[in-house]
Chains A and B, each alone.
Chain A
Amino acid sequence: MTPSTKATVQRAAIGSVVLLIGTRKGAFILRGNRTRRTWKLSAPMFLGHIVHHVVLDPRDRRTVLMAARTGHLGPTVFRSTDFGKTWKEAKTPPAFPKAPEGQNGRVVDHVFWLTPGHRSESDTWYAGTSPHGLFRSNDGGVTWEPFSSINDDPQYREWMGTVQDGTPDGPKLHSILIDPRDPRHLYFAMSGGGVHESVDGGRTWTSIVQGLEVVEGFDAATVTFHDPHCIRLCPTNPDRLYQQNHCGIYRLDRAVGRWIRIGKNMPKKVGDIGFPMVLHPRDADTAWVFPMDGSTVWPRVSPGGKPASYVTRNGGKTWTRQDKGFPRADAWWTVKRQAMAADVHEPVGLYLGTTSGEVWASRTGGTSWTCLARHLPEIYSVEAAEL
């Protein structure tokens, strides 16, 4: 596959940026003005709901989908077609098929990830769930159908393992990516369970874990041991992917065919463990990560209590620490895999939400950070969108 001009038309935006924020206790919208200097926080939406992801449809800039559940009530998807003024619930939210009598069927605990479909498929959305499940909607999120080629495939079920095999908050299917040149070319990742690709719209799938490392003592040839945390596809070069993994930071150039651990170039005392990864909208060599402490019992906080993003501007050869504006010490929070995002302005704006309920922003590609909001519930996701 060769990059086409269609994949390189991302121009710097001039509109205003909105942040769609999912938290453990509801969703919020932060609206910025055109200069991105002043911001206004909305009232909570679906207060009390556990909101894992809120995503604006870039194809119409009005439709918003929200993955939600509560402590009591089962998982669902809420849908707005007027940018959050009014909401309707999906008619048939993502759910596994009913198992035959006498067999144990799987139950969706929560919808974790939402991805709008290819720009040529205006009503298509994809969803990833916990436990691992891949779903598709062809009607803008009203009804959802499972991908049997993943959810019911014996090999994939083996790689998925059981609920007990997953991350502490349940195994996640995430990072559903669509090649901007081809709506049939899809990627997704599973924690744990590897990275997978389809070139036929999801009928068949291939694992792409070559070059990825696994926890010491385990066999890297076994897909189930691979724990990708966040995969991103370069908008300007869809043949390049970046990955923040349980075992390091990686880059994949499809022509090379194997993941390269670019995190080895991070400072040793910080390491290359984390959850989120964010890419520059126009430069395939520029990417950001937000490291966390992955030592001993995995505290999952900023290393040393000193938060910082790290940027590479050369595809991972070197990394630069970006901590200006962040607390200098005693800040024991981190950023989850869906809670860091970039806008498409020039210079690029970066945004992140913390496990302690703060939203931070940089209008300068991470060279300095300011806090936009405090005292929100634990933040699960931040998406930056243009209006």
Chain B
Amino acid sequence: MTVHIPGALRSYTKQKSEVAAEGKTLAEVLAALDCRYPGLRFRIITEQDTIRPHIRIFVNEEQVRDLSVAIQPDGQIQIICALSGG
């Protein structure tokens, strides 16, 4: 599947706005991403495996809050930096 990377995280992906990743769940996809782009996961997921307060993750345009959600091989994942004030 394709993962859309926000500008704030592209320093990890060598400025790529889209990267491919594999996994049956969101947790597996994020783990795979972190293997390729070390450090990326912790900036958006806490040590308690929760999505950070100003990060939103959409799977096929639907917001998800749980890393256990299943991902289809042709799925689209969007990581969004939500507004966080001046």
Contacts and interface: CB of A to CB of B under 8 A. Distances in A.
A382 interface: no
A93 B42 contact: yes
Main secondary structure of the interface of A (DSSP, over half): loop
A95 B50 contact: no
Interface size class of B (residues with CB under 8 A): 20 to 34
A58 B72 CA distance: 52
B8 A98 contact: no
Nearest to B47: A95
Contacts of A267: none
Interface residues of A, number: 20
Contacts of A108: 47
Interface in B33-65: 38-39, 42-50, 52, 54-55
Nearest to B38: A91
A70 B8 contact: yes
Main secondary structure of the interface of B (DSSP, over half): loop
B47 A71 contact: no
Contacts of A74: 42-46, 52
Contact of A107 (B9, B44, B50, B54): B50
Contacts of A93: 42
Contacts of A89: 38-39
Question: Which of the listed residues B39, B47, B49, B50 has the most CB atoms from chain A within 10 Å of its own CB?
Answer: B47
Contacts of B47: 95-98, 105, 107-108
Nearest to B46: A107
Interface string B1-37: 0000000110000000000000000000000000000
A91 B47 CA distance: 14
Nearest to B39: A89
A105 B52 contact: no
A105 B48 contact: yes
A70 B55 CA distance: 11
B55 A72 contact: yes
A73 interface: yes
A256 interface: no
Interface of B: 8-9, 38-39, 42-50, 52, 54-55, 81-82, 84-85
Contacts of A255: none
Interface in A95-148: 95-99, 104-108
Interface string A50-92: 0000000000000000000011111010000000000001110
Contacts of A96: 47-48
Question: Which of the listed residues A73, A76, A99 has the most CB atoms from chain B within 10 Å of its own CB?
Answer: A73
B1 to A, nearest CB: 23
Contacts of B84: 70-72
Contacts of B85: 71
A229 B25 CA distance: 45
A104 B49 CA distance: 11
9 contacts: A72-B8, A72-B82, A72-B84, A74-B43, A89-B39, A93-B42, A105-B48, A107-B48, A107-B50
Nearest to A71: B84
Contacts of A105: 47-48
A173 B9 CA distance: 28
A134 to B, nearest CB: 15
A105 B39 CA distance: 21
Question: Which of the listed residues A70, A72, A73, A90 has the most CB atoms from chain B within 10 Å of its own CB?
Answer: A72
A107 B44 CA distance: 12
